[in-house]
Amino acid sequence: MNCFQTIQYTIRQGDNLYQLSRYYQTTVQDILALNPNIDPYNLRVGSIITICPGDRFISSASASNPPACPNTSMQFDLMGNMREAWIQHVYWTRLLLISIAEMLGDQDATTARLLQNPGNIAAIFSNYYSAATANTIEQLLTEHLTIGADLITALRDGRTADAQELTRRWYQNADRMAEAFGSINPYYDPEEVQKMLYDHLDLTTQEVEARLADDYQADIEAFNQVEQEVLSMADYFSLGIMQQFPQEFM
C-alpha cells in the first residue's frame, strides 16, 4: 500500500474500525493491512494505530478526533453477520468446486448446504427491507450458485459451448443483482456493485480453472483473493445499510 502521509491515531472508548474508515475515507481492510496485530473486535483504548487517509479526506483541526460511533455493538453485529454470511458463501462454493472437480460422493449434500446460503444473506437484508426485496435477493443468489455449479461441471467435462453460454448467463445474473441492490439503497452504486460482482466471478473462474488444471498453488492463491474480495463486498453492503438507516444504530 502506498501512502504519502499516514496518521497515528490513538484509540478512544467507543471507537471501531468501521467508524474510523468512514471518517478517514479509507476501508476497514486497509486499516487492518497497516495494523496486522490488532483485534478489530476488541480495540484497546489508548493503543496507537496507523491510518492511511483516502484521497477525499480533508485534514482539519478535528482530524485526530473523529465523532464516536453511537452504537458500536449494533454496527459490529451487522458487520459480523454480513461477513460471516458472505464468507460461508465462498467457503461452501469452494467445497462444491472440489466435490465436482474430483467427482466426490458428497456433491448432493454439499450442494444442499450451499443453497442454504442465499436465505442466510437475504435474512440479514430482511431486517431493513421488505420481504419481497429479501426474496429477490435470495432468488438471484440462488441462481448465481446454480449457474456456477453447472459451469464448473461443463468446464470439467470439456463442454465448451455450454460453458460459454453459462458464463454469459452468470454475468447477466450479476447485472440483475447489481440493479436490484442499486434500487433499494441510494448508497449502493449499481456500477460499483456490478464491478464487485464481476470481480467475484472473475476470481472464482480463476479458482475453478486452476483447480481443474491440477494447479493447486494457483487454485489456493485465487481463493485467497476470492476471500478478501468478498469481505470487502460484505463491508460495502453493511456500510450502505448503516448510511441509509442511521436511526437503527443509535
Per-residue pLDDT at 62: 45
Give me the DSSP letters along 169-200: HHHHHHHHHHHHHHHH-TTS-HHHHHHHHHHH
For the chain, residues with pLDDT lower than 50 are 59-63
Q: What domains sit in the chain, N to C, each tagged with a CATH number?
A: 1-69 (3.10.350.10), 72-249 (no CATH)
Per-residue pLDDT at 61: 40
89 within 8 A of 197, measured Cβ to Cβ: no
Closest listed residue to residue 180, CA positions, set 217, 125, 227: 125
Rg (CA), the chain: 20
Here the cell at position 192 is 460499483
The residue written with cell numbers 492511511 in the block is 52
